Structure 1
Amino acid sequence: MSTTETEPTNDPDGWEAVRELPPSAKLVAKTLEHDGRLTQSQLADETLLPTRTVRYALSRLEECGAVESRFSFNDARKRVYTLAIE
């Protein structure tokens, strides 16, 4: 077995930008990949990260285009985040 077999081969652009981000942003991205649409507080609960860290991670992920946000239909004061990459 070669060592290149563990590297992803179907990553045209999405996850490449995430690889350069802090570990907290990677965790938030993977949580969104697994769970789908979540609010900031739900992400904090799922990742066990402080809300401030989740907020920073989401801002970094939005900057690189890995995450999209929309207002929640249930509570317009909250935003729902989804992963924008595959």
Structure 2
Amino acid sequence: MSASDAEAVAEETPGDVWAPVRDLPPSAKLVAKVLAYEDTLSQSELSEETLLPPRTVRYALSRLEEVDAVESRFSFTDARKRLYSLDL
């Protein structure tokens, strides 16, 4: 079995919920991991938790949304904010 065959098998494993996130940038992985522990956070809360700049968090969230790894909704307390949660 070649290395590429082993990677293909690893990607097809049904128990690997992190597969969609695997090839994303480190910032997106960090945001996903924080959301896994914290459940639901706003973009500013994610920036505080990860110690990443807001622009980097925005980029990470957009990459996570591209692979359908996060779910976003409007905040009930402040409609200007969106709340993000992991959807793996």
What's the TM-score, normalizing by structure 2? 0.83
SS at match of 1:69: strand
Q: Provide, for residues 7-37 of structure 1, a one-character-per-residue CA deviation record: whole Å limited to 9, x for no partner.
A: 8x621xx411101000000000000000010
Structure 1 partner of 2:80:
77
Runs (4 or more) in structure 1 with deviation over 6 Å come to none
Q: CA deviation at 1:48?
A: 0.1
Structure 2 partner of 1:54:
57
Give the counterpart of 1:30 among 13, 25, 33: 33
Alignment gaps of 5+ in structure 2: 1-9
Letter matched to residue 82 of structure 2: R
Letter matched to residue 29 of structure 1: A
> Highest Rg: 1 or 2?
2
Identity rate of aligned residues, in percent?
68
Number of residue-to-residue matches in the alignment:
76
1:64 aligns with 2:88: no
Give the counterpart of 2:47 among 29, 44, 49: 44
Q: What is the Cα-based RMSD across aligned positions, in Å?
A: 1.3
**Distance in structure 2 (CA, Å) of the matches to 1:17 and 1:37:** 19
